Chain A
Amino acid sequence: MSADVSALEPQAKEILARYDQKQAAMLPLLHLVQEQVGYIPPEGEQWVSEKTGVAVVHVHEVVTFYTMYRTKAIGRCHLQVCTNLPCVLRGAESVLAYLKERLGIDVGQTTPDGKFTLSSVECLCACEIAPMAQVNDRYVGPLDRAAVDRLLEEGGHVL
């Protein structure tokens, strides 16, 4: 793990150079750790603390404040289903129920084979394709049962 983080030194240097003050590099450095490790471990918080000059306890506060940062590993394919009003008006709850049924897991859980993690999230601001979800980096929608079936087939191949 610590070896993983030290490999990020060149990128960290580039990121820090973009900001007028080093503590402003907090969010991008945390994104960098998460991209590398898959989540933000205590060693990652320590490393970001050293880079930004911010106490590690405050780094931890930041990690836990924002929804995109994770402190635990998740599945290779992260399905984040929007359950805000515009998506609910167009059937998001049926989509979420179908996903739970197909994957055999509840919201917040990962399939035993480590392929899929299911989350429900607030508005992703893509209401024109409601009901929608974010699948890793990608926005997909509108979702119905057939679209969910296709998604799970593709997602099953995500490495």
Chain B
Amino acid sequence: MSFEPVLSRRLGRAAGTWYDAYAADGGYEAAKKALTAMTPAQVIDEVTRANLRGLGGAGFPTGKKWSFIPKNSSKPVYLVVNADEGEPGTFKDRYLLERDPHAVIEGMLIAAYAISSHKAYIYIRGEYVEAYRRFCRAVEEARAHGWVGKGAQGVWDWEITVHRGAGAYICGEETALLTSLEGGKGFPRLKPPFPAISGLFASPTIVNNVETLAAVPPILRRGAAWFAGLGTPKQGGTRLFSVCGHVTTPGVYEAPVSVTLRSLIEQHAGGVRGGRALKAVIPGGISAKILTASEIDVAMDFDSLMAAGTMAGSGGVIVMDDTTCMVKALWTAAKFFAHESCGQCSPCREGTGWIFKVLTRVLHGQGRPQDLDVLLSAAGGMEGKTICVFADAAAWPVQSYIRKFRREFEQHIATGTCDLTRDYADAHH
């Protein structure tokens, strides 16, 4: 790699996890600078000029989001960290929580100061037991060194509550996360009002992703111009890409946001396994529209992938080689969406169920000639018609797989199976 890592500096070192190693690496210097030499407005300005964008998947400018908190709110202001990582193909937040928790805590302190919050909640997905234990230990270390609690560094009173989820993908959606944190079923809420006005306990709330917050200390330490310069004119910095599926070495790879999908697959992850041919890639978690092998010379920043008709999402890259049956791949995605729909909105609850049912018959050789139209019509009936974007995320794979690999679907319907099903039965069917 020709650049200096920003977010992954300590991820590879077992000893890099805890306070002493973090402090020795310049840790908490940025928080000290913010708390003692900057106003909250200056912190927000710095993060805004760095072009940091939300790395949970939405890509919203972080500094701008922070600026939406009403000034002099009579209600308490909350910082909520979205550590409910659940997008299939994504695992980078787990690396940060387990291996570099102090980077997240320092980012949280700076954010809390910037938005005038004295209480932070971090919502860690329930299955991440090891991440939860490690993060709790790091919070206690930070407390012992005067970075968490009353009068942190003599300047800021704040407290962190580490919260565990209980298994529901939808809680990664920020309003569902808030409903869940308040003790309810994870049902998303209509926006507006946005959380910055009425979020947790109906108070002004900022929800930020783990990786987004981990990027904040380096910005304050080295300046907005440096961070912005690492990326594109509209998205600064680097990103932790999770690369998995049919690559030689699946893993978390840091790269500037302008890295190409080809470079991530071929250079970082060692190429397609066994030298096989690439067939398709999902660039930003299972919800993103699929790309074919001829579409991978695209940069991975939010705007380039949107221009390419897909999305950067969570940065989870799922690679499929030429042994992959696309009907099976889409069926697997549809199984996930049918399982995880929260059931609140009818188009999503019914649509995900129907799509799964129809794909199940196509996969098992009982497809009907009109089934592709049924699938596309069901997907169209979900898009933009529900409270949150889950339904859209469930529709996009259906539309993109069928559009780009229609012949495979037609063959499955006409013959009841496909060559891949026969040749790679053990691996995929």
Contact = CB atoms under 8 A, between A and B. Distances in A.
Interface of A: 18-21, 23-28, 30-31, 52, 54, 58, 61-62, 65-69, 83-86, 88-91, 93-94, 122-130, 134, 137-139
Contacts of B166: 27, 30-31, 66-69
The residue among B87, B244, B339, B428 with the most chain A CB atoms within 10 A of its own CB is B244
Contact of B86 (A18, A93, A125): A125
Contact of A62 (B93, B164, B185): B185
A27 B185 CA distance: 10
Contacts of A23: 182-184
Contacts of A27: 126, 163-166, 180, 183
Contact of B245 (A28, A65, A90, A125): A90
A89 B320 contact: yes
A69 B426 CA distance: 33
Contact of A25 (B90, B119, B129, B183): B183
Given A21-B201, A123-B88, A68 B167 contact: yes
B168 A85 contact: no
Nearest to B343: A65
B342 to A, nearest CB: 8
A31 B244 contact: no
B169 A89 contact: no
A140 B339 CA distance: 23
B360 to A, nearest CB: 14
B332 A88 contact: yes
Contacts of B286: 84-85, 123
Contact of A66 (B167, B244, B320): B167
Contact of B88 (A66, A91, A127, A137): A127
A100 to B, nearest CB: 15
Interface in B328-363: 328-329, 332-333, 335-336, 339-340, 342
Interface in B16-52: none
A89 B427 CA distance: 7
A57 B52 CA distance: 43
B101 interface: no
Interface stretch (B104-112, B246-254, B256-264, B369-377): B246-254
A94 B88 CA distance: 20
B89 A26 contact: no
B183 A54 contact: yes
A6 B234 CA distance: 56
Interface string B151-182: 00000000001011111110000000000111
Given A20-B76, A93-B428, A66 B164 contact: no
Contacts of A18: 161
A12 B182 CA distance: 17
The residue among B167, B251, B252, B429 with the most chain A CB atoms within 10 A of its own CB is B167
Given A20-B201, A66-B166, A125 B85 contact: yes
A96 B336 CA distance: 17
Interface of B: 76, 85-91, 93-94, 119, 125-130, 161, 163-169, 180-186, 201, 242, 244-246, 250-252, 286, 316, 318, 320, 324, 328-329, 332-333, 335-336, 339-340, 342, 426-429
A14 B342 CA distance: 31
Given A20-B76, A61-B185, A31 B164 contact: yes
A67 B127 CA distance: 10
B168 A66 contact: yes
The residue among A69, A126, A127 with the most chain B CB atoms within 10 A of its own CB is A127
A19 B167 CA distance: 20
A85 B180 CA distance: 26
A93 B426 CA distance: 8
Contacts of A52: 183
B184 A62 contact: yes
A85 B329 contact: yes
A122 B126 CA distance: 13
Given A28-B163, A85-B329, A127 B244 contact: yes
A81 B320 CA distance: 21
A24 B336 contact: no
A148 B340 CA distance: 28
A58 B183 CA distance: 10
A28 to B, nearest CB: 7
Given A68-B126, A89-B246, A139-B130, A62 B183 contact: yes
A24 B178 CA distance: 10
Given A66-B166, A85-B286, A125-B90, 16 more contacts: A20-B76, A23-B183, A25-B183, A65-B168, A85-B318, A86-B88, A89-B245, A89-B318, A122-B169, A123-B336, A125-B85, A125-B93, A127-B90, A128-B242, A128-B252, A134-B127
